[in-house]
C-alpha cells in the first residue's frame, strides 16, 4: 500500500567533497568492468551470440565500455513469442503487485544511482549533474507510474440508468515493443518500459545501440525487483533487422518509440500494416524530436533569457529533443542578446565528462557528442551554417583522445525557412533569427514541421497570453528555459511531427497502454 504522496527526486549538484568522492569511486568501479560481455535475455534465459555490439566511450573511443550480444531476426521472433506466452499470467496479476514491483525498482535505482550515473558518464558522455538528473527522472517515472497504475485500476464512474447495471474498467493491450533513445538512456528507457509493465503488458526491449550496457543494467533492476521471467525480454540489435522484425510481428500489439522523426515515421508506417495472423490495429506511441525555440521580446529580462538559451542549446551537447535550437530575438535587442549569448557560450568547457563539472554561474562542462556518425552529421550542418549565416563562436572539432568533441557553436542572421532554421541537428549548434515583431516571432516559431517545446521571454502579459493561444507547441514555457520537464509536473510530448503527443510523466500517459472494457447487465 502506498502511503507517501509522490514527489520528485532531488538532483545532486555534487557540492560536497563526499559526494564528489562517491562519483569518482563509482566511475573507477565502472572502468574496472570495461570490456565485460552482456547477454540477450529471452524468457529469463541468457543468450550469448558471437556477434557483439561494441559500446565505446565517446570521450575516448578506444575504451570499450561493454560488449553486448547482438540479437538476430530469429531471436527477435522468439522474444515476441515469449512475451505473448507470459502475457496471460502477467495481465491477470494484481495491480497492487505490479505497482509494488515498480516501487522496488525505484528503491534499487536509488541504491545504485552513482553506478548508473557513472555508467552514463562513460557510455554516452553526460556530465555528472546531467547523469544524476537522468537517473532521478527514472526513479520519478517508477514512483509516479506505480501510483498511476493503482488509479487506473479503479472502475470508471458511468452515468446511471434504470434497469441496467453498467461498468467500465481498463485492461492491458498485450505485447509491447519498447524502442528507447540513447540520449536519456536511463530515464526514458525506464519510463517507457515501466509504463507498459505496470499496466499489465509484457515487453520486448530493444535498447539503443549507443547505450546497450545501460539498457542491460535497467533490465537487471527490473529483474531484481521481482518481475517474472519473460515479462520483460532484452534484445539488442540493429533497427533494420531486429527493429523491423519486432514492429512487423503479428503478435506485437503496440510499439513505444522515442527517437528521430525519420525512424518514427518509418515505424508508424510499418505498424499500420495488418500482417497475416494479426487480429488488431497496432498502437504506436511516438516521441520524434523537435526544432525548439526561445522567443526573446524587446522588453524581456535579457540576462535571464541568455541563460535560458545557452543552457537549452548546449546542455548535454544539444542532444535533447527539447534543446533550444533556435533563438528568435526581437530586432531592438538583437545585437545585445548576441553578445550575452556569445559571452556565456565561450565560458563552456568541452572535456571528457569524467572530469568534475565545475559550474561557472549557470554553466557546466560539455562533453562529447554520441558517436562519430553524429559528429560528422553535426559538422556538415556547421558547414551549411557558415553559408546561411554569420558564425559568432565555435564551429570546430576538438582533438582530445580521439573523442567526438565539438565546440558549442552559435550562428546569427539565420533566415526563416533555411536548413539551419528548419532541420533538427541534435548537436551543440544554435541558430539566432532576427524578428521584427512579437507576432512575427510567433510565425517563425510555428514554421517547422515540429511542435515539441518552446519558451517565451517577455514582461508583457498580453503577449504571454497571445503566445499561449498561438504557439503550436506541446510544452510551452514562459520566462524560463525550454528544457527540464519534471515527471508529474510537466507532462511531456509534442504536436505535429514531434510525435503522438504522448504526455509522458502525466496523468494521461498510462491510458496509452490500456483499453477500456464495458459490460452491461439487465437488472
- Longest pairwise C-alpha distance within the chain: 78
Report yes or no: 369 and 323 within 8 Å, Cβ to Cβ.
no
Q: Is 523 exposed, middle or buried (0-12, 13-18, 19+ CB in 10 A)?
A: exposed
Give the span between the Cα atoms of 467 and 4, in whole angstroms: 37
CB proximity list for 273: less than 8 A, separation 6 or greater: 248
**SS3 per residue for 184-195:** CCCHHHHHHHHH
In the chain, what is the straight-line distance between the N-terminal and C-terminal CA atoms, in Å?
35
Is 360 a known active-site residue? no
Which among 81, 143, 148, 287 is annotated as catalytic? 287
Which among 143, 321, 421, 482 is annotated as catalytic? 321
Which of 264, 234, 312 shows the shortest CA–CA distance to 42?
A: 234
Task: Give the Å distances, CA to CA, from 511 to 156, 238, 264.
Answer: 13, 29, 20
Report yes or no: 154 and 62 within 8 Å, Cβ to Cβ.
no
Give the span between the Cα atoms of 456 and 467, in whole angstroms: 8
Q: Is 134 exposed, middle or buried (0-12, 13-18, 19+ CB in 10 A)?
A: buried
Query: Cβ atoms within 10 A of the Cβ of 156, count?
Result: 11
Query: Cβ atoms within 10 A of the Cβ of 396, count?
Result: 12
Give the span between the Cα atoms of 157 and 65, in whole angstroms: 52
Report yes or no: 411 and 367 within 8 Å, Cβ to Cβ.
no
Which residues make beta-bridge pairs with 234? 41, 205
- As a whole number of Å, the CA-based R_g of the chain is 23
* 3-class state of residue 127 by DSSP: coil
Is 287 a known active-site residue? yes
What strands, in cross-sheet order, belong to the sheet with 36-38?
36-38, 60-69, 52-57
Which residues make beta-bridge pairs with 330? 435
Task: List, by residue number, the catalytic residues.
Answer: 287, 321
Amino acid at each position: 500500500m502506498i502511503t507517501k504522496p509522490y514527489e520528485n527526486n532531488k538532483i545532486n549538484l555534487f557540492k560536497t567533497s563526499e559526494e564528489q568522492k562517491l562519483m569518482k569511486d563509482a566511475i573507477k568501479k565502472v572502468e574496472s568492468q570495461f570490456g565485460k560481455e552482456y547477454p540477450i535475455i529471452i524468457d529469463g534465459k541468457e543468450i550469448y551470440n558471437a556477434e557483439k555490439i561494441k559500446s565505446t566511450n565517446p570521450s575516448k573511443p578506444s575504451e570499450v565500455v561493454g560488449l553486448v550480444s547482438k540479437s538476430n531476426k530469429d531471436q527477435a521472433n522468439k522474444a515476441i513469442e515469449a512475451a505473448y506466452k507470459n502475457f496471460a499470467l502477467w495481465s491477470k496479476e494484481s495491480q497492487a503487485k505490479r505497482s509494488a514491483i515498480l516501487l522496488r525498482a525505484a528503491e534499487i535505482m536509488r541504491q545504485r544511482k552513482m553506478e548508473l550515473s557513472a555508467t552514463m558518464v562513460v557510455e554516452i558522455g553526460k556530465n555528472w549533474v546531467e547523469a544524476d538528473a537522468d537517473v532521478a527522472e527514472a526513479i520519478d517515472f517508477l514512483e509516479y507510474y506505480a501510483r498511476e497504475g493503482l488509479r487506473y485500476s479503479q472502475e470508471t464512474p458511468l452515468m446511471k440508468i434504470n434497469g441496467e447495471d453498467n461498468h467500465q474498467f481498463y485492461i492491458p493491450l498485450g505485447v509491447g515493443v519498447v524502442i528507447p533513445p540513447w540520449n536519456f538512456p536511463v530515464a526514458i528507457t525506464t519510463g517507457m518500459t515501466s509504463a507498459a509493465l505496470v499496466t499489465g503488458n509484457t515487453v520486448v526491449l530493444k535498447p539503443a545501440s549507443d547505450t546497450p550496457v545501460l539498457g542491460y543494467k535497467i533490465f537487471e533492476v527490473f529483474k531484481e525487483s521481482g518481475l517474472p521471467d519473460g515479462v520483460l525480454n532484452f534484445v539488442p540489435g540493429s533497427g533494420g533487422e531486429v527493429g523491423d522484425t519486432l514492429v512487423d510481428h503479428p503478435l506485437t500489439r503496440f510499439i513505444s518509440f522515442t527517437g528521430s522523426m525519420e525512424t518514427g515515421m518509418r515505424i508508424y508506417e510499418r505498424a499500420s500494416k495488418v500482417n497475416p495472423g494479426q487480429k488488431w490495429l497496432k498502437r504506436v506511441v511516438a516521441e520524434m524530436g523537435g526544432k525548439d525555440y526561445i522567443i526573446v521580446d524587446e522588453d524581456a529580462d535579457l540576462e535571464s533569457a541568455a541563460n535560458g538559451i545557452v543552457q537549452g542549446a548546449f546542455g548535454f551537447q544539444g542532444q535533447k529533443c527539447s534543446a533550444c535550437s533556435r533563438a528568435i530575438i526581437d530586432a531592438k535587442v538583437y545585437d545585445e542578446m548576441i553578445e550575452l549569448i556569445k559571452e556565456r557560450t565561450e565560458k563552456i568547457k568541452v572535456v571528457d565528462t569524467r572530469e568534475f563539472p565545475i559550474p561557472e554561474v549557470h554553466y557546466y562542462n560539455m562533453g562529447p557528442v554520441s558517436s562519430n556518425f553524429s559528429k560528422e552529421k553535426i559538422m556538415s550542418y556547421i558547414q551549411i551554417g557558415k553559408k546561411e549565416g554569420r558564425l559568432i563562436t565555435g564551429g570546430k572539432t576538438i582533438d582530445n583522445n580521439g573523442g567526438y568533441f565539438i565546440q558549442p557553436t552559435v550562428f546569427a542572421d539565420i533566415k526563416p525557412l533555411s536548413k539551419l532554421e528548419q532541420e533538427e541537428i541534435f548537436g551543440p549548434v544554435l541558430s539566432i533569427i532576427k524578428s521584427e515583431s512579437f507576432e512575427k516571432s510567433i510565425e517563425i516559431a510555428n514554421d517547422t514541421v515540429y511542435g515539441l517545446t518552446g519558451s517565451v521571454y517577455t514582461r508583457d502579459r498580453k503577449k504571454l497570453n497571445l503566445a499561449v493561444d498561438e504557439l503550436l507547441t506541446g510544452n510551452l514555457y514562459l520566462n524560463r528555459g525550454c528544457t527540464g520537464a519534471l515527471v508529474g509536473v510537466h507532462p511531456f510530448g509534442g504536436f505535429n511531427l514531434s510525435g503522438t503527443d504522448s504526455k509522458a510523466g502525466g496523468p494521461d500517459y498510462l491510458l496509452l497502454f490500456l483499453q477500456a472494457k464495458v459490460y452491461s447487465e439487465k437488472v
